[in-house]
Amino acid sequence: MVVLERVEQAEALLKPQRIEVLRQLVTPRSCTEVGHRLGQTPQRVYYHVRRLFDAGLVRQVAERRVRGITEGVYQAVARSFWLSPSVVGRLEPTSADRDAAHLEHLLDLVERVQADIAALDPGAPELPSLGVTGQVRVALDRRTQFVDELRSVLQNLFTRYDDAGGDAFALALACYPAPEGDPK
């Protein structure tokens, strides 16, 4: 995973033809090979590969001689790319006193989780993590009770496992209305 931190990286990536070229470069290939697969000329593919290379999204992994011409072999630097919220930046400052039940608070939380995950070293051994998703149906008259009970259960966990000498783990829980048609 690569987190795009610069506008130039996002600009290089967010072109449909370049995304197709990048998909072809999950495995090492030359511009000729990619062009053949996409029905484009090697020169056109090279133009896109060069933009991706300059942005640090592909790397040259080999060179080979083909009919007296040196041809580069390229590969994507990652299998997934995230656009960091810092590329655009905060259009308005976050409100520390914003109600935790407000949907804008969830957006702030998602940005923080994304930044935290991006800062982790994916090569580090045994990064324990957990992702849980689910859906619960709560009657309108029990919503407040549900949220209060959920808050209480989590606060109990925080208190029970707060060991000053232990490893720090971040926990983020988002509770929001499920989109229409979401079967979870």
- In tens, the pLDDT along 110-141 reads 777 877 777 777 677 676 777 888 888 999 99
DSSP, collapsed to helix, strand or coil, labels residue 82 as strand
Fold of 2-81: Arc Repressor Mutant, subunit A (1.10.10)
In the chain, residues under CATH classification 1.10.10.10 are 2-81
**Whether the Cβ atoms of residue 115 and residue 141 lie closer than 8 Å to each other:** no
Note the pLDDT of residue 168: 80
- 174-182 long-range CB contacts below 8 Å, 24 or more apart? 174/106, 174/109, 174/110, 175/147, 175/150, 176/103, 176/106, 178/135, 182/135
- On the question of pLDDT at 54 being above 70, the answer is yes
184 confidence band (pLDDT: 50, 70, 90):
low
- In the structure encoding, which two tokens stand for residue 140, read together? 């309108």
Q: Is the entire prediction scored with pTM above 0.85? A: no
98 confidence band (pLDDT: 50, 70, 90):
low
Note the pLDDT of residue 122: 67
DSSP, collapsed to helix, strand or coil, labels residue 5 as coil
